[in-house]
Amino acid sequence: MIFDILTIFPSMFSSPLREGMIGKARERDLIQVRVHNIRDFAFDKHHMTDDRPFGGGEGMVMKPEPIVGALRAIEAGGPEARCILLTPQGRLFSQEIARGLSKLSRIVLICGRYEGVDERVAQHFTDDQISIGDYVLTGGELAAMVIVDAVARLIPGVLGNVGSALEDSFTQPVLEHPQYTRPRDFEGMGVPPVLLCGNHETIRRWRRGQALKRTSLRRPDLFAALELSAEDRQLLEEIET
């Protein structure tokens, strides 16, 4: 998998791409991430990447020529590449979208800054527009990094097999159960005794109950969509009483 990132702040990606599983995946050549500076494709005297909006108004808009120049230089138009603009106006990113992207061989991510990107770039040079949530950032860079991270960990070999069951598209979305590790007593706070009982079936049932309770309290939207089994209903009832 190759990621090409177009940005006016390439150094924002340096350490996030070096650390942890993403750093390891790059060392092992499971993924390749190429970061391109849009400014290198601005050929006017001052290497301008933005300009004032037609029609007036606040802020600056990213000019089309440098972005399209960069896209052409990296041959982003090929049949292999999916070209994505990060923008608050995009469709909302999700695990399902990450799963879809993880099957591609090349993803081009365009990071917008300022008040946005000239609409002609969005319209004619991208395949998709993605938002990572309903908030405004100072630019698309962190959103692009979120996509690289979420997609890369789904590529076979990047994580080992730890996540594989969790990523199964047939498992229903439920929040994770609480986790505890040593020490057994931390500043007077203990660990639920069931986790120390050694009975795997008892522990599995407790975790499932906790996961369902959490989901109902914190994510009523996810909970409403769940198809609860007879055991699930029983576990929830036990927790209520």
| Residue 30 in tokens | 């499971």
Active site residues: 88, 115, 153, 168
Nearest to ligand 4FL of 66, 139 (CB atom): 139
State in angstroms the smallest separation of the CB of 112 from ligand 4FL: 5
**Residues lying near ligand 4FL in the complex (CB under 6 A):** 86-88, 112, 131-133, 136-137, 139-140, 143
Nearest to ligand 4FL of 133, 220 (CB atom): 133
State in angstroms the smallest separation of the CB of 80 from ligand 4FL: 24
State in angstroms the smallest separation of the CB of 93 from ligand 4FL: 7
CB contact at 8 A, 154 and 125: no
State in angstroms the smallest separation of the CB of 136 from ligand 4FL: 5
State in angstroms the smallest separation of the CB of 147 from ligand 4FL: 9
Nearest to ligand 4FL of 96, 237 (CB atom): 96
Nearest to ligand 4FL of 7, 37 (CB atom): 7
Nearest to ligand 4FL of 126, 131 (CB atom): 131
Q: Which of 75, 71, 67 is nearest to 51 (CA)?
A: 67
Task: Give the separation between CA 176 and CA 127, rounded to whole angstroms.
Answer: 33
